[in-house]
Structure 1
Amino acid sequence: MKKPKILGFYGESKSGKTTLITKLIKHLSADGLNVATVKITDKNIKLDSKEKDTWKHSEAGSNLVVLSSATETDYLIKKKQTINDIIKNMLNIGHFDIILIEGANDKETPKIRLGKIKQRVNTVFTYDGDFEKLLDFVKNQID
C-alpha cells in the first residue's frame, strides 16, 4: 500500500491557514482522494468539554478515552505526541492519500508557507493567493 503524501502548512495567526486547508480538503475529496488532517497549536486547549462523560473519564485518570457515536469515533489521548507518533497512529486507523498538517513546525515535514512569515526548514511552496497553482502543486505531490 502506498504511503500518504504529508504536507504541512504554516503562517501567522489569522493568515488563512484553516480556510485554505478546508478549501483544499473539499477539492481533493471531490476528486476521490482520502484526506486526513492534523491541527497543531501551541495553545493549551482541549477538544473535550468540561462535564461531558468523556471529560469525566479523563479526569478520573483514563489515559485514552474513546467516544463512539452513531456518526463518528473520537480518540482522546491524554498526552502530547510527536507528529511522527500521530501519523503512525493515523495509519493504523486507515489509508489516506494525503495528510495535511496545519501548524507544522518540525524539520522533516515538507511545508507550504502562507504570508510573509519567516521561512521554515523544508518549505517546498509559498502560497501567493493563486489557489489553482497550489491545488496543482498538491495534486502533483500525490501522483
Structure 2
Amino acid sequence: MESPVILQVVGYQNSGKTTVITKLVKRLKEHQIQTGVIKHHGHNDRLDLNDSGKDTERHRTAGASITSVISAKNSILSMDTELSINQLIEIYTVLKMDCIIIEGYKNIQYPRAVLLRDKKGDIDLFNRSETVIALIHENDVKINTNPPQFKWDEEKWLDFLVQYILNGYKERKGS
C-alpha cells in the first residue's frame, strides 16, 4: 500500500495553522489530491460529539468502544479512546489518502511548515524542529536559516506547499 505524503503544520495558538491548512486543502482538491487532516486537540477535556439523543450516543453510553454511522453522503466514526498519531496515519493510509496534513503535535516530528508570529517567542519551536520545509512568518520576523521563508501575507507559501505535496505524490506514484 502506498504511503501518503505527510505534512505537519505547527505554530503556537493563533499563529494561523487552521488558515494555512484550509487554504492548502482547497488547492489540493483542485489537483484531485485526496487529503486527510489530523488535528491535535491540545487540551485534556473531552471532545463534544454533538449526538445527544441519537442512536450513536445510546450505543456509546451502553459501552460501545467504537460507533459509526454511515449514509449515502458521509460517514462518522467515534471512539471512546485516544488514538496515537501512528494509528491515525495507518487508518488514513487504509482509506487511501494521497496526503495527510497534521495540525499541531509540536513534539512529534514529520516534515513541517513552522508558523512564527514573533521571533523572540516562537524561535524555540523552529529550533526544536528536525525537518522544516518552510518557515512562514510575520513581516518583521527574519531568520538566517536554510529552509525557504515566506511572509504570511504574500501567500507564496501556498504555492510552495502545494508543489511540495504534488512532488511527493508524484514520487510515490512513480510518475
Q: CA 1:45–1:13 in structure 2 vs 1: closer, same or farther (change >3 Å)?
A: farther
The answer to whether the Cα contact below 8 Å between 1:97 and 1:142 also exists between their aligned partners in 2 is no
Q: CA 1:47–1:89 in structure 2 vs 1: closer, same or farther (change >3 Å)?
A: farther
Q: Deviations over 1:81-131 (max 9, x none)?
A: 110011111212x22221001112343322211124232332412113142
Q: Does 1:5 align with 2:5?
A: yes
Match of residue 63, structure 1, among 62, 65, 68:
65
Q: CA 1:2–1:135 in structure 2 vs 1: closer, same or farther (change >3 Å)?
A: farther
Pairing 1:1-143 to 2, within 5 Å after superposition: 1-43=1-43, 44-49=45-50, 50-92=52-94, 94-115=95-116, 116=118, 117=122, 118-119=124-125, 120-124=128-132, 125-128=134-137, 129=152, 130-143=154-167
**Residue identity (%):** 28
Structure 1 segments, 4+ long, off by >6 Å, are: none
Equivalent residue of 2:67, what SS? strand
Larger radius of gyration: 2
Q: CA 1:47–1:68 in structure 2 vs 1: closer, same or farther (change >3 Å)?
A: farther
How many residues were matched structurally?
142
Distance in 1 (CA, whole Å) between partners of 2:158 and 2:22 is 13
Amino acid at match of 1:33: I
Equivalent residue of 1:19, what SS? helix
- TM-score (ref. length: structure 1): 0.86
Q: CA 1:40–1:123 in structure 2 vs 1: closer, same or farther (change >3 Å)?
A: same
More contact order relative to length (CA 8 Å, sep ≥ 6): 1
Q: 1:22 Cα deviation (Å)?
A: 0.6
The answer to whether the Cα contact below 8 Å between 1:127 and 1:134 also exists between their aligned partners in 2 is no
The answer to whether the Cα contact below 8 Å between 1:107 and 1:121 also exists between their aligned partners in 2 is no
Structure 2 unaligned regions, length at least 5: 138-151, 168-175
Residue 170 of structure 2 corresponds to which residue in structure 1? none
The answer to whether the Cα contact below 8 Å between 1:107 and 1:122 also exists between their aligned partners in 2 is no
- TM-score (ref. length: structure 2): 0.72
Q: CA 1:21–1:81 in structure 2 vs 1: closer, same or farther (change >3 Å)?
A: same
Structure 1 unaligned regions, length at least 5: none
Distance in 2 (CA, whole Å) between partners of 1:107 and 1:18 is 18
The answer to whether the Cα contact below 8 Å between 2:99 and 2:165 also exists between their aligned partners in 1 is no
